[in-house]
Structure 1
Amino acid sequence: MNKKDEILERWDKEKAMYQAWGSYLSTCIKNKISSKIEPEELSCFLKLPVVPRLKDDRKLVEKAFYRRKNYSDPYSDITDKVGIRFVVLLDSQISIISNIVEQMTEWECSKDRDYEKEQERDPLSFDYAAVHFVIRPKEEIDCGKEHGFVKVGTPCEVQIKSLSQHIFSEVAHDTIYKPTVEVTAEMRRNSAKAMALLEATNDYFEKVNDQVQAPISSLKNITQQLSAVYKDAIQDEPAPSVLEGLFLEAYKDFTHDDYVTKVRDLLKKKPFIGKSIKKWFQKRNPIFSQPSILLIYFAVDNNARKAKRKWPLTMVEMEPILADLGESST
């Protein structure tokens, strides 16, 4: 059996383990991202699905023997036999995921590519930009009966990039960096111009994002505070949506003078409020899955007339809240 056949035979035996390792990592990192960015939805933050991808047999052999890599142990030295990719909207969001990867203690990670350091070294160059990690488990990981154990030191490549970086890599990377035809100076020049334009576009989007985030940052903070109270009182996970922003904008005048403590006190004083919220939550009424529902009850209890005037939907939809507190919609 030659070396190529040996590599493919081993790869066939270990594919399931590598797939399990990629799936385990993607789930773990996504869970950490969700807790970091809440109340924003993960599906909004990540612009593409995170799907572990195994290296094709042919490409594995090509990389091992035909890319002039000079591997001493081709199978072990190739670290992207499985890979996962996180794509965010803006360059500034990359660090959120990078920090999560670097702070986890159950694995070892090496940063194989860092576009920010590359730009510091050569600020006049406009080139493929992303952050690449190789992650290996420190201890054997049990992935269940179906997948078995992931061995210590099994590598997985994790790429983190912005949408503009991803666009560039999809268009140019396979041609410019993994050529099957001769790459001309004109091709490289056009590639650099495209990357420069994408970087400039990202910079403008960053400015727009900062301008948008400034007025809503305080509302996000309110949502985080109310979410904590919601989890404690209702014993369910709130699901903020577009309604959350609508309600907070309407009732933000009630968020002063230690309102969180007063909301907690109201729930203790009138425990039927929590039971009612849970009932409507279980009936999948989206109004009652918003963290701000607690603020609405507080507003009605504090000043029903003002709360009704501020209500942004139809009065029919407010009636269950008013009824709980003995108020009329008229």
Structure 2
Amino acid sequence: MGLDDFEHRLSAAQPELRQWGKYVSELIEEIASSRNIKLQMLSSRVKEVESAVGKLSRKKYRDPMLEMTDLVGVRAVCLLSPDVETLCLALESYAGLDIRKSRDTSKEYEGAPDKFGYQSHHYEIRAKVDTLIGGVKVSSNTCCELQLRTLMQHAYAEVVHDSIYKSSWSAPTRAVRFVSSSAALIETADHLFCETMNILDSEMQGRGQLLEQLTAIYDSQTHNSKFKDQKFNMMVLDELTPIIEDDTADEVARFMSERSYIGERIVSRIDSDAFWSQPVSVLTYFLAHTQPSALKELWPFAESEDALEKIYSDLGRKYHCE
């Protein structure tokens, strides 16, 4: 194919390329949303005619319209690597399009574990048959290149792409070493952030399970359907963690079953203070009974001290003398 012919065909294909890029971009957004993945960035671009023509001088193509797979591209950026991996698995199981992985840098580095550099997942995405999208015919030969990476990997790529790898001159050895070091740090940081999120998720799961148990106890005692402030309840549980044991929920259930009057007191106060509508109120009663001093020391909300005083009084204790 001659240069003029390619330039003419590429110019004519611009509407098709834009439409295909938009379609793929919307598909990625839909897949990410269905898996509760928040994309940090999602962009679509059609390669400029001048850039594509310039690429012909550097690489040989029999038919660049078919072989140049990045004439339209989509880039999706996730916060951390587990989200990228989830998206990759979803794409590879998606049957509606012809999706093929063209590059996986993690596999490339398996054979060179001492090297660090650019990281990304690349896919070639095509329609299985010629398709009409938004009034524009998209050929099954039209390829969209999708790049998936983390936010830190994206920052690395943006810094080094033009200044190091696409530069017209050879970058100084010191600069190359610096970017290699930064790639290693990025991989380490991603690992540390992932481990941090795992720890936080584990803690949140434990507190969430405890809150569900407290809610069941609270509901059985009060039959109250008023709004329950999850954020407030979780904050209280977080602050009281040092005096909460693995069997606390069972102990609270036993404690409440032996003191039916507590549920009645809670119900009588529901309209006076939002605190009494919260499941942590039953936990507070239990801790005021078993660990009164520690509870007062750890209690995080001064505005709820009136409620605490009532709880101590209900249990026959003096709040200001404990």
Do the two structures share a fold, i.e. TM-score over 0.5?
yes
SS of residue matched to 2:73? strand
Q: 1:58-115, CA deviations, whole angstroms, 9 ceiling, x for partnerless residues?
A: 111111x222x22222222110111111111112221111111111112112212112
Asked if the contact 1:79–1:134 (Cα under 8 Å) also holds between the matched residues in 2, the reply is yes
| Contiguous gaps of at least 5 residues in structure 1 | 223-248, 267-272, 278-286, 288-302, 319-330
Structure 1 position 5, deviation (Å)? 2.2
Q: 1:113-144, CA deviations, whole angstroms, 9 ceiling, x for partnerless residues?
A: 11221121111100101101111110222212
CA distance in 2, matches of 1:153, 1:310: 69
* Match of residue 212 from structure 1: 200
* Match of residue 295 from structure 1: none
Q: 2:53 aligns with which of 25, 44, 61?
A: 61
The 1:125/1:61 distance shift into structure 2, 3 A limit, reads same
Q: What residue identity is the alignment partner of 1:149?
A: K
SS of residue matched to 2:145? strand
The 1:125/1:304 distance shift into structure 2, 3 A limit, reads same
Q: Under a length normalisation based on structure 2, what TM-score does the superposition of the two structures give?
A: 0.65
SS of residue matched to 1:181? coil
CA distance in 2, matches of 1:250, 1:306: 21
Asked if the contact 2:109–2:115 (Cα under 8 Å) also holds between the matched residues in 1, the reply is yes
The 1:130/1:47 distance shift into structure 2, 3 A limit, reads same
Q: 1:134 aligns with which of 111, 124, 129?
A: 124
* Match of residue 88 from structure 1: 78
SS of residue matched to 1:84? strand
CA distance in 2, matches of 1:29, 1:96: 12
Structure 2 residue 12 is matched with structure 1 residue 13: yes
CA distance in 2, matches of 1:138, 1:47: 29
CA distance in 1, matches of 2:168, 2:72: 23
CA distance in 2, matches of 1:35, 1:138: 23
The 5-angstrom pairing of residues 1-330 of structure 1 reads 3-37=2-36, 42=37, 45-48=38-41, 50-63=42-55, 65-67=56-58, 69-145=59-135, 148-217=136-205, 252-254=213-215, 315=274
- How many pairs were matched up? 244
Q: What residue identity is the alignment partner of 2:39?
A: L
Deviates more, 1:5-14 or 1:161-170: 5-14
Q: What residue identity is the alignment partner of 1:254?
A: T
CA distance in 2, matches of 1:105, 1:306: 59
Percent identity, aligned pairs only, is 26
Q: What residue identity is the alignment partner of 1:127?
A: G
SS of residue matched to 1:159? strand
CA distance in 1, matches of 2:269, 2:143: 55
The 1:133/1:304 distance shift into structure 2, 3 A limit, reads farther
Whose radius of gyration is greater, 1 or 2? 2
CA distance in 2, matches of 1:15, 1:36: 32
Q: What residue identity is the alignment partner of 1:47?
A: Q
Q: What residue identity is the alignment partner of 1:55?
A: K
Q: What residue identity is the alignment partner of 1:53?
A: R
Q: What residue identity is the alignment partner of 2:165?
A: Y
SS of residue matched to 1:51? strand
Deviates more, 1:163-172 or 1:90-99: 90-99
CA distance in 2, matches of 1:310, 1:116: 59
| Contiguous gaps of at least 5 residues in structure 2 | 230-261, 278-322
Q: What residue identity is the alignment partner of 2:30?
A: N
Q: Under a length normalisation based on structure 1, what TM-score does the superposition of the two structures give?
A: 0.64
After superposition, the CA RMSD in angstroms is: 3.7
Structure 1 position 252, deviation (Å)? 4.9
* Match of residue 240 from structure 1: none
The 1:218/1:22 distance shift into structure 2, 3 A limit, reads farther
